[in-house]
A = this chain, B = another copy of it.
Amino acid sequence: MAVQTVASTSNPTVDLGPAAALSCRECGHRVPLGPVFACEECFGPLEIAYDFSAYDTEELRRRIEAGPANIWRYAPLLPVPADVADKPNINPGWTKLVKADNLARELGVTGGLYVKDDSGNPTHSFKDRVVAQALEAARAFGFTTLSCSSTGNLAGAVGAAAARAGFRSCVFIPHDLEQGKVVMAAVYGGELVGIEGNYDDVNRFCSELIGDPAGEGWGFVNVNLRPYYAEGSKTLAYEICEQLGWRLPDQLVVPIASGSQLTKIDKGLQELIKLGLVEDRPYKIFGAQAEGCSPVSTAFKAGHDVVRPQKPNTIAKSLAIGNPADGPYVLDIARRTGGAVEDVTDEQVVDAIKLLARTEGIFAETAGGVTVGVTRKLIQDGVLDPTKTTVVLNTGDGLKTLDAVAGTGLTATIRPSLESFREAGLA
């Protein structure tokens, strides 16, 4: 069954499996697979067009189920060669879909509540999924250096994946990043370059470097490899449906940074429907932001189609993109599926981190506090239906944002005696 037909623009020298071409999301213009990210006709974003025409549904399902316990079980649906599982990579994915019965009781959800817990990835964030894809594209294009600009999770994911695959890595960060984050990124032994300036300066410099001979042979995972990189988020949709027994959830709550993850989850769900791997029935996608960086939520509530940039000011730093590239697409998906975009305060984020930890034993990054907090708010507001099957994403690990819950501490201090124990009311 053909989801998208083969382009005449295919690049015969590059084997990225079912990926047939790059296609502009705005004007549909097609170009061969290569390290490009913007349409030469209209400057719209390029994304992968696939040829899935050869697949038989049940054979594909069996092939996936017999695959490895990582994202490569979905190799037939990703821009990677068929033998990808044999190549050195970080092999993320197939993280736990936790049935969150305690949290469901607290939130009044009766239709089944699940947490997709991506803290189980190799460097403990969903970024491993997208970097693993970018790495395969870099390999296919003959790049030897893996690079990115980052302020946190991405730096670690790139450093780790490059180390495993034998690539050189060169990660650019603001020079005044917290020491803990620097250590996490530096330990993998690649180049870690501090840029005198803020994150915007870092990004601007990277764009310059791509256009310069000095950047030749460099794969910037989230710039010139972005079309491949972004596809990694589709695996979240695949895993959730397979872990539910090849079934679409009714509702998903997804964090929004650039918005790319949410749009690719929608793309993944649509592919599963078109391929016949899940029954076609309605689902709603809800986007979650922190109030201190809520450009998409603000636009959604105002009924706008465009997103007005904001200056971020929130503890949810991994979501703090004030000018989200995929914002308009997120608005479109939330409206088309009957979902919504909502935001919560930093205080609500912290409360939600603690709520998830004390009910399910999952210690989430601030981004997980955002999704759980927004889920609670949407239920209270009657927007999210508690009688429906709902999946909430936790995309990172609490160990990386300890500061957010630094107020948490000892419940009592006692002398080492039973008398002191009883005095403290602990018996």
A residues bordering B, Cβ < 8 Å? 69, 88, 90-91, 94, 96, 101-102, 120, 122-124, 156, 159-164, 166, 170, 173, 175, 179-180, 182-184, 186-197, 201-202, 204-205, 208-209, 212, 214, 353-354, 357-363, 397-400, 402, 405-406, 408-418, 421-422, 424, 426-427
Which B residues touch A188, using CB under 8 A? 357-358, 361, 363
* A91 CA / B123 CA spacing, docked (Å): 19
Closest to A208 in B: B418
A-B CB contact pairs (8 Å), 10 listed:
A91-B96, A123-B363, A160-B357, A162-B361, A186-B409, A192-B409, A196-B414, A196-B416, A209-B421, A214-B426
Q: How far is the CB of A372 from chain B (nearest CB, A)?
A: 13
- Tell me which of B94, B164, B182 contacts A360 (CB under 8 A): B164
Which B residues touch A361, using CB under 8 A? 90, 122-123, 159-164, 188
Closest to A181 in B: B402
- Tell me which of B183, B197, B422, B426 contacts A193 (CB under 8 A): B426
B163 lies within 8 A of A360 (CB): yes
Q: How far is the CB of A140 from chain B (nearest CB, A)?
A: 20
- Tell me which of B96, B184, B201 contacts A399 (CB under 8 A): B184
B175 lies within 8 A of A214 (CB): no
B421 lies within 8 A of A194 (CB): no
* A358 CA / B402 CA spacing, docked (Å): 25
A88 lies within 8 A of B101 (CB): yes
Which B residues touch A418, using CB under 8 A? 208-209, 212, 214
Which B residues touch A161, using CB under 8 A? 361
Q: How far is the CB of A422 from chain B (nearest CB, A)?
A: 7
Q: How far is the CB of A170 from chain B (nearest CB, A)?
A: 7
B416 lies within 8 A of A204 (CB): yes
B69 lies within 8 A of A186 (CB): no
* A156 CA / B363 CA spacing, docked (Å): 10
* A334 CA / B405 CA spacing, docked (Å): 44
A205 lies within 8 A of B416 (CB): yes
Query: Given A124-B399, A357-B188, A398-B187, A414 and B362 touching (CB < 8 A)?
Result: no
